[in-house]
Amino acid sequence: MIVLSKLFTVFILPPGCFIIVLLFLVIFLPRKKKFFPILVLLFLYLLSTQPVSDLLLKPLENAYPPLSPEFKKDWPQAIVILGNGTVIGSPEAGAAGQDTLTSDAMKRAVYAFSLRDTFDVPFVFSGGKVFEYNQESEALTAGRLFVSLGLPFERLIMETASRNTWENARETAKLGIEKAVLVTSAYHVKRSVYCFNRNGISVIAAPTDYKCDRGRKYDFFSFTPRMNELYNSWLALHEYVGLLVYRVIYR
């Protein structure tokens, strides 16, 4: 019964339902018109499966190892945490108009907070507003979270001007920081390290927010289309495009 319910969910919701529609379209279309729908069908299906999303995402997540407990505690000048969006006016935030971090940004912040006793240095949360929707800057939202968790306000530096990863690095460099522990999602580390190094900051990566399972064998459901795998594939492709664009634009 559990297997049937899972299969029902897979194919009644996107992307499975889109794949079923495309499959019927391919079956009933004239032969001369099948090529493009078949291409879209294969592309959508493959990107929605775990083996393919792992193939795309794991090289990014494995580019840098987790932060070692043997790392020199007196080396960094700061712990730098990169933002990843906010939820505007989230009801659980309490006061009207207050925002919360998205789930990925929250994972970065919580992991950074776990390092508070390991490194006796300031926390720099880097993130402003990409677009103006009358929201808080991401750094201010994160700062409120850190204080609520118990981090002393005097250990916080909220960098509110940056709008992308390159600007995260550029604005952090303006603070006079030359050596830092860099906290971001594992899939995002490679592009982040590139940006910080190019802006004159030596960093030790502290990846978190891993998306790919480790130590699990693929089974039947690994090859069924799922939205979270499609999202993981999108994340990976976004990073590969970002790496290419940054190397062209920000030389």
Cα dihedral 130, 131, 137, 138 in deg (nearest 10): -50
The packing angle between helices 189-198 and 227-249, to 10°, is 20
- β partners of residue 101: 86
- β partners of residue 82: 126
DSSP string, the chain: -HHHHHHHHHHHSTTHHHHHHHHHHHHHS-GGG-HHHHHHHHHHHHHTSHHHHHHHHHHHHTSSPPPPTTS-TTS-SEEEEE---EETT-GGG-STT--EE-HHHHHHHHHHHTTTTT--S-EEEE---SS-SSPPPHHHHHHHHHHHHT--GGGEEEE----SHHHHHHHHHTTT--EEEEEEEGGGHHHHHHHHHHTT-EEEEEEE---S-SS----GGGGS--HHHHHHHHHHHHHHHHHHHHHHH--
Q: Which residues of 53-80 are buried (b: 16+ CB within 10 A; e: fewer)?
A: bbebbbebbebbeebeeeeeeeebbbbb
The predicted structure's pLDDT at residue 16: 80
The predicted structure's pLDDT at residue 8: 62
Share of the chain above pLDDT 90, in %: 73
The predicted structure's pLDDT at residue 96: 59
Residues in the chain with pLDDT < 70? 1, 3-4, 6-8, 10, 94-97
CB 125 within 8 A of CB 81: yes
What strands, in cross-sheet order, belong to the sheet with 202-208? 156-159, 123-126, 78-82, 179-185, 202-208
Which amino acid appears at position 116 of this protein?
Answer: R
The predicted structure's pLDDT at residue 58: 97
- β partners of residue 80: 124, 182
- The CA distances from residue 226 to 10, 23, 58, 214, 232, in Å, are 6, 16, 18, 18, 10
CA-wise closest residue to 199 among 166, 156, 224, 231: 166
Each residue's pLDDT tens digit, 39-84: 999 999 999 999 999 999 999 999 999 999 888 899 999 999 999 9
Domains defined along the chain, listed by start: 2-61+213-249 (no CATH), 78-208 (3.40.50.620)
